[in-house]
Amino acid sequence: MISSPLARRHPMKYATAVLPLLFALSAIAQQPRWQNEIEDDKGRAARGQTTTFAIPPGAKVQANWPPGLYEYYNGTRPFCYAYVIPGDWKVGPGPTAYSQDGRVIASVRFRPPSDFRGVAADRLLERARELAVRDIERNHNGRRPLVDVELVPFESARGGVWLLKAAPIYQREGRQVFPAFAIVNLGLNTVAEITVIAASGAEDLARQIVGTIRTSTEPSCFLPELERLYKEMYGER
């Protein structure tokens, strides 16, 4: 579920660093495991990376963290964010997750202001639409233009959510489908893109994911929440 922080560390390059390294490892060994995890998360945040893991059904912590794929971004530019893809998932490359039976694919992508450089539209929604259509055509539709493209309001737990629709581009369980593709206005010229590819129920899952999105401008971001998770996971207080 969550690998050991030491397993992610890189070996030192110079023999002269061996003794300091031994002292450092000794200090780490004396720390509670939850603290090691938090230090690792802080390092990822400093590098602009996210903390991502799946909690399966029956997990020890599921009373407070239901099964799902969890992602936390603890950087402050433009703000911290977190979300959950509810259910039983396998972590894929990048932001992609696959259902255990392989029939559903879901992903969440956050687009900061820097992503919209060079996009000429005036309003954020128009820029997000243009960028999304461009990416789908290039990466998922063989560079062919999408057909019957439209943006419609998407009813969900939060405002400022739109659904991008177009003619089908995927085959899913004998059906031609276009993914449920929701664009969420998060403010500060930032959006989240939620994509769910399924033969049925795609919009319902996208709506659930929208309801889990949180942002924060607190300096500690979501590290206190992760600390509680690790303490419960390891049985440490």
Average pLDDT, 10 consecutive residues per value, the chain (237 residues): 31 34 52 94 94 93 93 93 95 85 93 92 95 95 94 94 97 93 96 96 97 96 96 87
pLDDT at 18: 46
User: What pLDDT digit, counting tens, does each position of 40-79 carry?
Assistant: 999 999 999 999 999 999 999 989 999 999 999 999 889 9
pLDDT at 12: 26
Per DSSP, the three-state class of 82 is: strand
What letters, b where the CB count within 10 A reaches 16 and e where it falls short, cover 148-160?
A: ebebeebebeeee
Q: Are 77 and 219 in contact (CB under 8 A)?
A: no
| Terminal C-alpha separation, the chain | 20
Amino acid at 144: R
* Cα 89 from Cα 91, distance rounded (Å): 6
pLDDT at 195: 97
pLDDT at 95: 75
Per DSSP, the three-state class of 117 is: coil
Per DSSP, the three-state class of 44 is: helix
Exposed / middle / buried, residue 115 (Cβ in 10 Å: 0-12, 13-18, 19+): middle
pLDDT at 26: 52
The closest alpha carbon to 67, from 77, 48, 81, 53, belongs to 53
